[in-house]
Every structure is written in C-alpha cells, then in structure tokens.
Structure 1
C-alpha cells in the first residue's frame, strides 16, 4: 500500500533506492542531475534533480495505472538514457522489480529472459525489436503490456502494445505527487541476468539493501563530488554501471551525462569532458591501441618524447605510491612533458578526468601503466553481479595496478579450497531467480559466496590469480588460465579480440581478430624486409603473441595461430552483452578451424 516516505538526514539513513532519490532531490533540488543529447534540437540538454523528478512523476503514474502488484517484474530493453532510468525509478517507486536487459542482445536471449523472469511489462526501444523477439517463437503471453518508445501513432491488432507518448499521456493531468509504495530493504530491487559465458544466463536477485549497502561502501572508498560529471556508456543492464554509474552518482549528487552511442564516444568525451569514468578494460585498450599505432607511425622525436613521458610519468606514479618524492630531474622534466605530451593524449578523454575506474575484467599491465604514467588515476576494482557488484577497489592514494585493491568496508573475504575467493556481506545477492539449487551451490549456509575466482589476499589487498572454471589442462598436464593470456595479447594494438584454446591438446592455439589498419601496416613491414605469404604472416603473428605473453611460462605461449578480420559480436552470439568471450560458442563456431590447426605441426616461433 502507498504510504509516507520518511526522509533521512543523510546517506547513512538510506535503506531503499526510492528513498535515495527522494533524499537527493530534497538535498540539492537545483543542482545538475542529468545531461543528454537532444537529437531533435541537436544540442546537449541538462536537467536538475527537481526537474528530473518531476519528469519521473509521469512515469510513476503511468505505471501505477497498470495496477501491477508489488513484486511483479518490469523488463527494460532500452539504451542508456533518461527514458531507461525513468522506467527504472517508476518501477522501484511502485514496489516493482526492474529486469534490465542489454539493448543489443540477440532476440533469443531477450525472449529467454522475458519468459524466465515472468515480466508483465516490457519497455522496448523499437517495434522492429519487439517483432524480432516475437519471431523467436517463445511463449510471451504472460506479458500484459509492451511500451514501445518509437511507436507514436502505432496501430496494431495486439492491444498490449502502446506507444510511449500515448502511454505517458494517459497519466497526465494530476498535480499532487504519487506516494511511493512502502518498500523494505529485503524487497527485490532488480533481477539482473548474468552474462552467460558458458550457458543460459541466470537471474541474480538483488535487494534494495544489497544495492544500497554497496553504494554506501563505494561512497566511503571513492569520494565523488557534486561538481563531478560521469559519462555513462556501459549498458545499464551491467551491474557495474547500475551501481557505480547510476545509483552512486545519486548518492554523491553528481551529474551523469549519457553518451549517444559507443561509435560516438570519442566525440562525446571531448564534448562532455567528464571528470569520472566507469568502464570495462576494452575502452582503455582501444585508446591504448590508438596511442601505440600513432607512436609506430610517428617521427623519431615525437616517439622519443612519448617514451620519455611514459618513463618519467611511471616513476612519478611509483614515487607517489611509495609516499616518496620523484628525482630532481623528473620533477624538472615533468611540467614540459605534461604540456607537450600527456595533456594532449588525455585531451582525447576530455581533458578533465581526475579518476577512471576499470572493472568487469582484468586490465593488461601495459595498458593501465600507460594511463597512470600520463597522470590519469585508473583504479582497478573487482566485483561480480552477485555482489551488487563491487567487492574491492584501489584508491588514488593506495593504487597497486597489479591488484584489485582492498576489500570494501563491511565486506568479508577469505580463501577457500583451491584458493577460491569467498565473499560475505550485506551486498551479497539473495540468490538466483527460481534456481534454489544453483543458489545453494554458490552461497553456503553461512552466507559465503563462492566466486569461482582464484586469489591471493595480502594485508587485506586482493589479487585475482585465475578463474577456476576457465583453467585449461593440456595433454601434457600443464594448467593455464586462458583469460590471463588473452588479456596480455590484447595489450598489443594489432589484436582486437583473442581466444586461447588447448584443452587436452599438446600445445595452445590463439584465435585472434586483427585490427585491419594495424594489420596492413604489419604486412607492409614484412614486405619491406622480404617476407611475404601465409607462412611469414603466421610467424609474425606468433612472434607478436609470444612477446605479449613473455611474462608467462614457456608452455603458456601459443604455438599456433588462426586469424580473421571479421569481429566477433553480441549479435552473432559470440560475445556476452558485456563484451566477454562466449568460450563454448566460439569453440563451436570455429571447431573446423581449430581441428585444422591441430592437424598441422606447430610453427617455430622466431622474433621478427
């Protein structure tokens, strides 16, 4: 039943997500809350907390008119933006459970989530997307309403389908705010489906208490300020973005600007000029690749300046982390190197970034060290959907790029069998939706979540060392973590994507997607030295791969390579919505190529 919402004095008193928003609106009503690009007016538009909440009110009323009971599910299949969070906030205020889905996921996966979650309403971006979902043939009769964002004057025999404008217009006219439904911290705040790298995704049940606890712990570790601007481009179906890039800025009173799209991200970074970035490693890897490609084609003076900047900047970072002082020479050189090199490189990110957080997957050391040397504090963290998601993160003053930082306040960690990282605390999920056996398998009776990740814990600092399920065992008995090798390979800008295989095989093979421009340059280099043809190209690729993984044992060096210029995509079912490899799907897709590689004798690896 609707009831009054008490207003806490500060963040410490917040218990639910609707309470968090109400508190923020009351605390700083006139401050900038959100910024988005208005495609009609062709300009960026800002909204204050008071204005955005007034806009949300219409969505609350429209959703209330559907008369869904608290606890029912509302599926959101929209790109990042105001409309997405408006439906999210409306659902939360009515005691409903958002089910965020990745906007570019394939129709079969979307239909599966709709059926599994039992959602009563779907908010979808286009009618074409809805028709593709219907075409999968999965039963969708449980859906009572389909709100289509682009269907203004929609006429359809399916009475469930309504255009967004019409749906909202039916709720207009009231003046008094609609009271929120009374919600408890243990009530569901979302069912977030995991990426499903090895099979069908599972619905992770996160309560209001789970998410709010994580927001509070993040706020104690990384202090965003009201003047900060976040640029949001990770999908809001990703818990990393939901908590770190959406709910946490509400707690901090910071502004979130929604990027237009990933292809326009470079332009949006320069236009928005964010101060905080929340991203997965792939974005940093792409920028690193561009810098390295530029270095390769630069003149000797420009190349030497970049190398000197990275060397001096790296020593400055190391000295700061040791609470020491850089050498006199480095102190004298840095202002000039910063102006000539570092500032120009970081201008690609807008030029105002003071902190960038990397999570969701490991980041290669050459990549993170480059940004740290340029003066950008990239903080690597660790978490998973099941922990709402952040477990640990580095800080500006205590940043070990080899690790994922110290555990957050209120979160417990320990090592179990086979050095598996176990996590317990208020942000650990309630369980998997309709999968009690799966829940018991990963969350024991004492509340410890079995992460599946291997780790070291030294003085409270966590270092992830591998993934238990992803360990390859070769026919010679060697155990290898392929994700570590793939991360190292992707630090070379020639490689866009990589998969290492070799289970019960005599040696490892790398399947790689090449950067087209870099590959042309590499072939030109080979031709200039009199090396042409498939064998020379294969040898060159193996040499590059060997150089990338040189920090690993010799048995972990791939001895064969297969390459393509065609990228692996979410739409083709080869990547998860968070851009992780779907290993079984990739191995099935390229089974013939893998068999062909192993039918041949591996090439010798020689430096090029």
Structure 2
C-alpha cells in the first residue's frame, strides 16, 4: 500500500499502532487524512472510541474482514480494491513533491508533522549505502515500527533498493526468539535493545563464577584491542594469538544468541554508550552508530566500518553538510532536509534558516577526523541553583551500566542537588534486597534508608568520571517500567521527560523538602 500510494503521487501518513486513540485522532485531523488503513479488529475497537473526532475521514479500510459493524464508512481492503481491473498508467511523479507526513513522536507537547519528499528519503537511503555495504544476500530483521523514519528509510527502502531480504519480528518481547530463528546478517536498532542484551550479560556474569567474569573481560579486552589494531589506531599484540580460543569459549556463545550470522549492527535514534559498544565490538560484532532526525529523513552522520569510532556518531553522509552554530549546536544542510512542518510555517522558520541550515537542537563537537560527538540537548541541560550546568543524558547512560537500573531520569533544575528517578530491574532488585536484609516485595523496601544509601553508593561508582558537582544526593526507586502503554515512553522508546516530571512531581518535591 505504501509504495502503491506514493507511486500514484498520494501522500502517506504513518501512524504508530500502539499510540493512544486521542493522539491518532489529532494526527488524522491535523493532516486532513481522507483514507485510514488499519489491520484488524483490535485496532478498529481503539478507533471506535474517537470516531466522533474523525468526521473528515471518508473511508476506513480494514485489512481483515470485520463483521457486525454499523459504520458506513468502513470497508474491507478486498472490497476497497477489486481483485482485477484495468491498470491505469501511473502518473509521472515529481521527486521533489511531498511524499509523506511523518509526525514526530515527541517527548514534550503535541507532535509536529514533518513533510518529506520522495527525493528526501531516496537520497538518504542511497547515501547510507556508502557507510555500510548491503547485498542481495543480506537478511534484515525489522522490529521497529515503520512509522519510525529510521526503520522506514534504512530497514525498508534501503533493503528494497539493494535486493536484500527483510523479515519482520513478531514483537519486541519475542525478539530474542526471532533473532535465533531468522538469523539476520544486519540489525537496525535503537540503543535500548543493545542495552537490554548488555544488561542480561551483566546479570549472568554477576551470578557466575569469578573465573567466568575474568574470561569474559579478557575476551572483550582482547577483541577491542584487535578492533583498534584493524582500524589502524593501535599495534598488533601477542594476546591476539588467544583470540581463536576466546572466540570459541566466550564470543561466539554470545553472538549465537543474536542468530550467529550478524556481521554488523546499526544503532541510531539515541546515544549508545561506549561501554555497551565496547562489549559488542570486543566480542566481534561491529556496531555502527549514526545520528539523525525525522526532519532529515533521518540520517545526518554515520560511522564507516573501516573508520569506526564507536563513541561518536560518525561523519556526514554523502551530500550532507554540517557545522556548529551558537552554543555549539549542530546544524545541517543537504538533500535530506525536510520540506517543512505541515500546517506550521513558523515552526519551519524556527528550525531552518534562509540559507537552508537546519538547527538540530543538539550540542556537539567535531573531531579533527570529522567525527561528530553529541554531548547533550540544548533544552535538556540542567542548570542547578548554584549555576552549574549538567547534561543529564550522559549521567543517565552511565548509571544504567548498573544492571540494577532499567530506566533512569535525572532531576535538578534550579535546585541545589541532583535527584535520580530510577526504575529497578526486578531480578537484580531481588538479589539486592536480600543483600541489604529486607524483603524485596514489601512496598516500604523501596524507601528504606539502608536501600537508598547503598543505591547512592552504586550510582556514585558509575558517576566517578563526572565532575564533583554532578553528584546524585537522593533517589526515587520505582517498580513499574516506563512504557508506551502507561504514557511514559514515546513509540520509539524515548522517555517522555515532561510526563515523567508531571507524574512523579509530588515524590520529587518531597525529596527536596528542607533544601
């Protein structure tokens, strides 16, 4: 449907199937959608709750044949499209015409409609092929939503362009099974998935013997040194002679959990810490980190396999320019930059200047080799009451290296000290509570002073590389994971900072009382 619609010059508006019905209604109305295509009865039942807000929709088209519905505008795809008919010649399509309106999932406020042309997306997919080679023999495993521009451009259009094969995972909870069944050669993912695998490895190592931990560390250290040598940044070492044995005893066992055939893993959508990258690269799986925005179709920069700095987001892809503006904000210009925001010319002017430079909102520095390092978001920098400035993202990534924490958000704007709000890992929490000498299932266990003291010591250990003022003084521990369903994650698994702040405002206030 997507390719057919765009070949006819129609404009597609992808929706997240897990999005709230009221948010879907907002997007459908804002984009003035006339035909709404969905899959099954479950999605229809969700749409029915907002039908009174969807008066502008001319036709609802279901992929499944639904029964006992009274909605006159509803039709099955079989009825909507005849089985056989005279084929109308496709009109010539202007490559610079509007192809799709993609609404940003947004961690704050209402989503904005990003207008992308055919040329925007196709030029981006072609340019990405310069950073990693894809052949017709490759097999991708797709599990991110196709309404996510990262997955749509790289996991869908790029795959079709190269003749590679794409398999679609059943769901994220079943991803580990699908990886071993499908055995992909390439994986496109947001950092959260790599972090989960890394966390599982850490948990197993903590439960294992000291010998296993030392062997794993030796494998990662040796593998990383081999990688640095292959990149031309370090000399050959005699320890490399151990690699065949370490690969058999350690590395291959981990990589088999990912299917055993993966030759490159691509990470984007958010920052991936060097510690996580180092483990995968050290075990023999190159992670290629890139960077971009929905507004840039999406890729701006990417690492090359032969010139890979895993803690950077790489160099600009072909035909894309970058520069640093005020406050070291990364700016970009190129054929991938959007046409503008739908129904929002002022927001477009705020984002793109008269010379075509788009302001990303991200603070960065560019190395002598041209590699870009993202250091924070301009709007997310925490300014404490003493004037010290804190980039929360880096601290949150560092804290989550501890398998006790699944999700973390740092607070401290206009306050004298920092607070961490953290979702604990259920399995790790059970072991931790036993060490402290309390029952993990007790509600008051999370607020026990002994627990907080020990948690703060573990957090401090992970933050030892940060300045002294970047110290977490209090912590709020939570059991329930932040998810799309409870409104605390975007469909692309990013934390909705504004909503987390609102949801836990009272508990956070109590942790600051008296200061």
- TM-score band by shorter chain is over 0.9
Partners of 2:370 and 2:426 lie apart in 1 by 43
Residue pair 1:273, 1:351 contacting (<8 A) in 2 also: yes
Residue pair 1:111, 1:138 contacting (<8 A) in 2 also: no
468-477 or 318-327: which moved more? 318-327
- Name the structure 2 match of 1:389: 298
- Name the structure 2 match of 1:321: 231
4+ runs of 1 displaced by more than 6 Å? none
CA deviation string 1:82-125 (max 9, x = no partner): xxxxx211211221111111111111211111111111111123
Partners of 2:174 and 2:417 lie apart in 1 by 41
Residue pair 1:313, 1:372 contacting (<8 A) in 2 also: yes
Partners of 2:12 and 2:359 lie apart in 1 by 26
Q: Is the partner of 1:115 in helix, strand or coil?
A: helix
Q: CA deviation at 1:301?
A: 2.2
Q: Is the partner of 2:194 in helix, strand or coil?
A: helix
From 490, 504, 512, the equivalent of 1:576 is 490
| Aligned-residue RMSD, C-alpha | 1.6
Residue pair 1:154, 1:162 contacting (<8 A) in 2 also: no
Partners of 2:198 and 2:137 lie apart in 1 by 28
> Does 2:73 correspond to 1:160?
yes
- Name the structure 2 match of 1:254: 164
Partners of 1:543 and 1:314 lie apart in 2 by 29
Partners of 1:128 and 1:252 lie apart in 2 by 35
Q: CA deviation at 1:571?
A: 2.1
- Name the structure 2 match of 1:352: 261
Q: CA deviation at 1:323?
A: 5.4
- Name the structure 2 match of 1:140: 54
Partners of 1:401 and 1:489 lie apart in 2 by 19
Partners of 2:189 and 2:103 lie apart in 1 by 19
- Name the structure 1 match of 2:138: 228
Partners of 2:19 and 2:396 lie apart in 1 by 23
From 225, 235, 242, the equivalent of 2:152 is 242
Q: Is the partner of 1:463 in helix, strand or coil?
A: strand
From 175, 199, 206, the equivalent of 1:296 is 206
Partners of 2:436 and 2:216 lie apart in 1 by 25
TM-score, normalised to structure 1, is 0.81
Partners of 1:398 and 1:202 lie apart in 2 by 35
CA deviation string 1:396-435 (max 9, x = no partner): 1111112111111100111111101110000000000010
Q: Is the partner of 2:271 in helix, strand or coil?
A: coil
Residue pair 2:139, 2:186 contacting (<8 A) in 1 also: yes
Partners of 1:125 and 1:563 lie apart in 2 by 39
> Does 2:256 correspond to 1:334?
no
Partners of 2:406 and 2:357 lie apart in 1 by 37
From 97, 109, 116, the equivalent of 1:187 is 97
- Name the structure 2 match of 1:475: 385
Partners of 1:401 and 1:220 lie apart in 2 by 17
Partners of 2:199 and 2:73 lie apart in 1 by 47
Partners of 1:412 and 1:435 lie apart in 2 by 25
> Does 2:273 correspond to 1:364?
yes
CA deviation string 1:114-148 (max 9, x = no partner): 11111111112333433433424762111011112
374-383 or 456-465: which moved more? 456-465
TM-score, normalised to structure 2, is 0.95
- Name the structure 2 match of 1:71: none
| Gaps in structure 2 of 5+ consecutive residues | 439-444
Q: Is the partner of 2:495 in helix, strand or coil?
A: coil
- Name the structure 2 match of 1:401: 310
428-437 or 534-543: which moved more? 534-543
